[in-house]
Amino acid sequence: MDILLALKTNAVSVVMTVLVMILLWKIRGKQSSFGRLPPGPPPNPLLGNLFQFNFKEAYKYYLELSKKYGSVVTIWFANTPVVIISGYEALKETMIGLGEEFSGRANYALIMKSTLGYGVLSTSGHRWKEMRKFSLMTLKNFGMGRRSIEERVREEAEYLVEMIKKFEGSTFLLKGSAISPADMLSNAVANVICSIVFGHRFQLEDPQFKFLLQTVNAYFSILSSPLGQLYNVFPKLVSLFPGKHHQLFKDLEEVREYFKREAQARMNNVDPSCPQDFIEAFVLKMKEEKDKPDTEYNFDNLLSLVWNMFSAGTETTSSTIRHALLLMMKHPDVQERVQREIDEVVGQDRWPSIEDRQRLPYTDAVIHEVQRSMDLAPIAVPHKTMCDTEYNGYVIPKGTMVFPLLSSVLIDPKLWKNPNCFDPENFLDGDDRFKKNDAFVVFGMGKRVCLGEALARTELFLFFTSLLQHFTFKAMVPPEELDTTPTNCSFGRMPRTYECYAIPRI
């Protein structure tokens, strides 16, 4: 019996060994077929380099690899290569110098699931160019970069300030009442987007508005979690297991249905000479090109465009403001200096305006430093190569996923005075004037730079200055005990939620 058992065990071992050798042969054969890829850590069979790093802080592993292997590195997600590009010069040479070659969008499974491959965020080639061109033109027509969009943002800033003032207990803060600003900030920023996309703002208690915001929050929470990262690598496998992602997918379908109802309601009620919102402008374009068989102006692109604008436009800006207030509580001396500058330039008799930015150099430096030190999107949204591309003596095949490691630029000691801590001096010269820095790449680089950058900059400035004009924010613990590290750090670095005191200054 022992002999038979030993024979069976040996036979199983031989079979397993042969299978592993076959898999290794296939993987190595596939790897060699990719040509002259950049160097990187040797991958393991089947899983590649997946479990050589912490999914919660994958960007730190990428930074380590860039120090060891250089500005272009290859890692493997299972049997799929991913090229990481780091450092300002390398990113400038690829994202700008070879902008067309690196302009594709990688098939990031969770993002693809939310857009179905339409819109502007997850598309490439002709579709992406057409949707981006239309979006930029339409946003400009609705005031992006002009005084009209400033008025929309200021209106929401006023609503936000009044909301905090009227919040139950907010006038009795010295007795211990506190607020949680996360939802308030999301509501305010989302309503700016809604005024552009839907032509109106929502009341805060509107159930549809609440559902949209809940879905956005769930989407980014999963996208920036280990679950989201695993789904992006093994979508079919992860779909077989229970988890929050299943409810998210159902909610995303419901969101798309709502957007579709909004679009259909406008189909026969839009004034061709004066569209009132983004959806109406797109509907007019659909009517204009209805006889073109290959038109990109269809419901699929419209629904995904609206989701792109609403989700990305809400989460990124509101999270940045939330983190800014947290840093003001952590550094009360910085908050006091910002408030002194606002008091001297703006006063208390009017609301801040974009024109004030040049006269508020320290405040402007603080806002920029919040974004730099926060490092919201360490690898941006992954790119892909549109053709076989030679760079630095390597050949990156068409369709290869590319991570632009923005973190490597934002913490480079050669580019910043104090890269590893929150310090507004990173954006000030010797005379305390605001100093621009080309290494401020938080909105990305090249052809796929964030299309809502102008709107985001306006929102960040007006919301931040309006809040600090009217309130002093204090933590519920001593500043030295306040934790400002993000809670999730995989796809995006999601800031903490918290309660705080908002003490009126007027």
- What is the pLDDT, as a whole number, of residue 34? 55
Q: How large is the average pLDDT for residues 184-200?
A: 94
Q: Which of 453, 369, 380, 375 is nearest to 416 (CA)?
A: 369
Sorted by where each begins, the domain ranges of the chain are 34-504
- What is the pLDDT, as a whole number, of residue 269? 85
pLDDT in tens, 405-431: 999 999 999 999 999 999 999 999 999
Q: How large is the average pLDDT for residues 1-27?
A: 46
Mean pLDDT for all residues in the chain: 89
pLDDT interval class at 493 (50, 70, 90): confident
- What is the pLDDT, as a whole number, of residue 44? 87
User: 94 and 84 in contact (C-beta within 8 Å)?
Assistant: no
pLDDT interval class at 20 (50, 70, 90): very low
Q: Which residue is listed with tokens 């080309």?
A: 438
In whole angstroms, give the CA distance from residue 80 to residue 430.
48
pLDDT interval class at 273 (50, 70, 90): confident
Alpha-carbon distance values, 241 to 64, 113, 134, 215, 228 (Å):
32, 17, 39, 21, 13
Q: Is the pLDDT of residue 216 over 90?
A: yes
Between residues 269 and 280, the one the model is more confident about = 280
Q: Considering only 198-202, 365-369, 467-471, which range has the smallest mean pLDDT?
A: 198-202
How much is the pTM?
0.90
Q: Is the pLDDT of residue 250 over 90?
A: yes
C-alpha angle 110/310/308, rounded to 5°? 45
In whole angstroms, give the CA distance from residue 286 to residue 304.
15
| Strands lying side by side in the sheet with 383-384 | 72-77, 80-86, 401-405, 383-384, 104-105
Q: Which fold has domain 34-504?
A: Cytochrome p450 (1.10.630)
In whole angstroms, give the CA distance from residue 372 to residue 378.
11
In whole angstroms, give the CA distance from residue 193 to residue 306.
10
Q: Is the pLDDT of residue 320 over 80?
A: yes
Torsions phi, psi for 440 (to 5 deg) = -80, 90
Q: Is the pLDDT of residue 172 over 50?
A: no
pLDDT in tens, 134-166: 999 998 887 765 568 899 999 999 999 999 988
pLDDT interval class at 173 (50, 70, 90): very low
- What is the pLDDT, as a whole number, of residue 14? 45
Q: Is the pLDDT of residue 35 over 70?
A: no
Q: Considering only 40-44, 223-227, 308-312, which range has the smallest mean pLDDT?
A: 223-227
